[in-house]
């Protein structure tokens, strides 16, 4: 039978990394990641803030890597369950994907709350404005498609 039609996609669905069968960005997964050096300079962080940010980033990156792995495994299991057409397997796999999404969302919220404890209100305002601009640029690149978006 022909493969099922593509469905709605979620953030991260196309950046599974190099070697994956469905990697949208291939090996350039982190090409547009926000550079901590640029951010620290923009926000004019103190040495104490830089140390706290570096520690928070290291911990957060490690947790994020584990959560993305769990999400990838859950998505893979869902694909296999859908192929099997077994309702119980599909429900179980769906629950795992939702749990993985929830964990990623909680990690994002925790990261922003940690940032708010390190930065002062002016720095947070600058960070939020910078982040909004980066997201706008990202969305514009996505509208152009991968070929055009990667020409920078």
The pLDDT mean for the chain works out to 80
53-76 mean pLDDT: 95
- 127/120 Cα distance (integer angstroms): 10
* Structure confidence by residue, pLDDT tens digits, 7-32: 444 444 433 443 333 333 333 344 44
pLDDT tens, position by position, 102-128: 999 999 999 999 999 999 999 999 999
Per the CB < 8 A criterion, the answer to whether 63 and 80 are in contact is no
pTM of the model: 0.66
CA distance 63 to 78: 22
Cβ neighbours of 110 (radius 10 Å): 13
């Amino acid at each position: 039978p022909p493969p099922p039609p593509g469905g709605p996609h979620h953030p991260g669905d196309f950046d599974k990394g190099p070697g994956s069968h469905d990697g949208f960005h291939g090996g350039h997964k982190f090409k547009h990641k926000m550079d901590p050096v640029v951010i620290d300079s923009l926000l004019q962080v103190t040495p104490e803030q830089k140390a706290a940010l570096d520690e928070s980033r290291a911990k957060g990156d490690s947790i994020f890597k584990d959560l993305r792995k769990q999400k990838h495994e859950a998505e893979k299991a869902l694909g296999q369950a859908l192929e099997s057409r077994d309702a119980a397997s599909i429900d179980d796999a769906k629950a795992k994907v939702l749990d993985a999404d929830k964990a990623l969302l909680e990690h994002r919220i925790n990261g922003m709350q940690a940032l708010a404890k390190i930065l002062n209100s002016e720095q947070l305002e600058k960070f939020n404005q910078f982040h909004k601009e980066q997201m706008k640029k990202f969305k514009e690149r996505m509208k152009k498609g991968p070929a055009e978006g990667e020409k920078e």
